[in-house]
């Protein structure tokens, strides 16, 4: 570590040494956030590379069919845990702090079974729908989509186990399997099929996706079980399903509203007949500037279980101090990242093609909303694990309605700029509302630095 610190500029050496070497809670949280951020950056690079390789292997037509099936897996898979993938970050730290190991193991077992069973049921219903009502989608989508949906239980299990890893502070086991291992296994499976002379089509890619999802879920489960056996006492599982479900359902609403908010702008652009080339230009700008959000994601990944522990202790002073510290960790790096991406915005957009340079002003509009969310930091995570998940859900519902209303009003007149203003304004409203509620429930000790 000393050799590594020699490469750090002298002005930053002391803070870097504190972050990398200290055993304090703040330093541990910072290291966890850095690990999460590094994994997300590596994941973004893998995703970018995979899109290029898959498109070249299959061709644009088959790649489009595969992408359609994968998007449905992403949407349904994110909802299949019905909030348990988030509530696990409240209950496991609480039961660990209170040494209620029976409930700890009971929640783990119940959560796994719920996501597996619901994933299988939803996949079966979806497959029956597309088989018996084939008019719902074009025939070319039937087989690839049906195959892709087989991965739904595994995707849901990985999502739940992601939450288990975060709850235990094991960021590596939480994020490495879904964001790094799964894309690599997808490449490996496709390579095997290519070697076996399987046709380079969407059905083959969907089969590779199924194998990658299930292998990832199993590998993550085995790794988590081994680490849990070493770190937690054995106990006969006990269950409080009614309480767990009451807590998880509002969190399910939070997950659902968040999912719709993040995709509503593109859906409205398509609904309001904006030309596909303009949608593509907007999407490129959105994906480029959205790299700023990786900081927010990383901070939330480490802050949420810590909030749950502090809430279980009833330590309001430390909750306030930790929230302020994490907000600073979130906002200032996000501001630097936004400035960097905006400075390089034109060269980055040019990589997509010369026509995409027209989206450069859109990046500035979108950056405002992303920075507003960064200023709020993990305040929404605090609400979710401190018994105020209903308030967080209502804020997101209002954000969703505001985003939709502004989009319907602005897009017909201003096009992609109107969509950017709508989602940026919605993000700003969400940040302000979340901060006001959080400050009321957990009053700040002083002004923000």
- Considering 93-102, 153-162, 306-315, 435-444, the range whose residues carry the highest mean pLDDT is 153-162
- Return d(Cα 356, Cα 347) in angstroms, integer: 10
Instruction: Evaluate the CA torsion angle 394, 400, 403, 408 in order and state its sign.
Output: negative
- 324's enclosing H/E stretch is helix 316-343
Residue 18 has pLDDT above 50, yes or no: no
Q: Where are the domains of the chain?
A: 27-239, 243-449
- Do residues 153 and 216 lie in contact, with contact meaning Cβ atoms separated by under 8 Å? no
pLDDT of res. 4: 42
Say how many C-beta atoms besides its own lie within 10 A of residue 169's C-beta.
Answer: 16
DSSP secondary structure, 190-259, as one string: HHHHHHTT---SHHHHHHHHHHHHHHHHHHHHHHHHHHHHHHS--------HHHHHHHHHHHHHHHHHHH
- Return d(Cα 133, Cα 129) in angstroms, integer: 6
- Of all residues in the chain, the percent with pLDDT exceeding 90 is 31
Residue 165 has pLDDT above 50, yes or no: yes
**366-411 confidence digits (pLDDT tens):** 999 999 999 999 998 888 878 788 888 899 999 999 999 999 999 9
Length of the chain: 449
Q: CA dist 16 to 13, 20, 42, 336, 449, Å?
A: 5, 6, 22, 17, 20
Q: What is the 3-state secondary structure (H, E, C) of 13-38?
A: HHHHHHHHHCCCHHHHHHHHHHHHHH
- Return d(Cα 337, Cα 165) in angstroms, integer: 27
- Return d(Cα 446, Cα 206) in angstroms, integer: 53
- Return d(Cα 404, Cα 418) in angstroms, integer: 11
SS3 6: coil
Q: String of b and e for 18-56 (b: at least 16 CB within 10 Å)?
A: ebeeeeeeeeebbbbbebbbebbeebeebeeeeeeebee
Quote the mean pLDDT of the chain: 82
pLDDT of res. 426: 95
User: Helices 142-149 and 202-231 meet at what angle, rounded to 10?
Assistant: 10
**Residue 13 vs residue 250, higher pLDDT:** 250
Average pLDDT, integer, range 224-247: 90
Q: Among 49-63, 123-137, 235-249, name the one with the lowest average pLDDT.
A: 49-63
User: Which residues 6+ apart lie within 8 Å of 6 measured at CB?
Assistant: none
pLDDT of res. 5: 43
Find, among 32, 8, 87, the residue nearest to 390 by Cα. Answer: 87
- Span between the terminal Cα atoms of the chain, in Å: 31
How far does Cα 200 stand from its chain's mean position? 30
**Residue 46 vs residue 122, higher pLDDT:** 122
pLDDT of res. 210: 93
Identify the band that residue 16 occupies on the pLDDT scale cut at 50, 70 and 90.
very low
pTM above 0.75, yes or no: no
Radius of gyration of the chain (CA): 22
Instruction: Evaluate the CA torsion angle 127, 131, 136, 138 in order and state its sign.
Output: positive
pLDDT of res. 154: 95
Average pLDDT, integer, range 303-326: 83
């Amino acid at each position: 570590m000393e050799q590594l610190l020699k490469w750090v500029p002298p002005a930053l050496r002391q803070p870097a040494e504190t972050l990398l070497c200290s055993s304090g809670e703040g330093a541990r949280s910072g290291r966890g956030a850095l690990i999460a951020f590094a994994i997300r950056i590596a994941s973004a690079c893998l995703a970018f590379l995979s899109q290029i390789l898959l498109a070249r292997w299959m061709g644009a037509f088959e790649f489009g069919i595969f992408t359609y099936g994968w998007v449905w897996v992403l949407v349904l898979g994110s909802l299949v845990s019905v909030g348990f993938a988030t509530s696990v970050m409240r209950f496991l730290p609480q039961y660990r702090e209170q040494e209620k190991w029976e409930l700890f193991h009971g929640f783990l077992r119940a959560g796994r079974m719920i996501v597996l069973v619901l994933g299988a049921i939803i996949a079966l219903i979806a497959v029956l729908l597309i088989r018996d009502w084939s008019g719902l989608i074009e025939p070319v989508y039937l087989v690839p989509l049906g195959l892709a949906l087989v991965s739904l239980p595994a995707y849901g299990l990985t999502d739940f186990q992601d939450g288990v890893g975060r709850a235990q502070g094991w960021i590596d086991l939480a994020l490495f399997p879904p964001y790094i291992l799964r894309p690599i296994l997808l490449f490996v499976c496709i390579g095997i099929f290519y070697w076996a002379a399987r046709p380079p089509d969407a059905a083959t890619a969907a089969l590779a996706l199924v194998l990658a999802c299930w292998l990832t879920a199993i590998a993550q489960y085995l790794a988590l079980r081994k680490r849990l056996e070493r770190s937690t006492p054995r106990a006969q599982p006990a269950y409080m399903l009614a309480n767990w479900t009451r807590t998880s359902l509002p969190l399910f609403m939070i997950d659902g509203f968040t999912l719709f908010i993040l995709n509503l702008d593109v859906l409205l652009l398509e609904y309001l007949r904006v030309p596909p080339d303009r949608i593509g230009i907007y999407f490129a700008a959105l994906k480029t500037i959205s790299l700023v959000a990786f900081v927010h994601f990383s901070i939330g990944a480490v802050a949420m279980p810590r909030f749950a522990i502090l809430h279980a202790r009833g330590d309001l002073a430390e909750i306030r101090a930790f929230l302020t510290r994490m907000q600073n960790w979130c906002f200032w790096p996000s501001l630097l990242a936004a400035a960097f991406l905006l400075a390089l915005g034109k060269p980055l957009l040019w990589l997509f093609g010369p026509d995409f340079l027209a989206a450069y002003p859109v990046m500035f509009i979108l950056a405002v909303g992303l920075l507003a969310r960064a200023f709020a930091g993990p305040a929404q995570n605090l609400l979710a694990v401190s018994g105020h998940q209903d308030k967080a859900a209502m804020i997101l519902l209002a954000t969703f309605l505001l985003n939709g209303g502004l989009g319907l009003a602005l897009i017909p007149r201003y096009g992609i700029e109107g969509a950017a203003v709508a989602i940026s304004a919605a993000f700003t409203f969400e940040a302000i509302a979340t901060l006001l509620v959080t400050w009321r429930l957990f009053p700040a000790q002083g002004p923000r630095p």
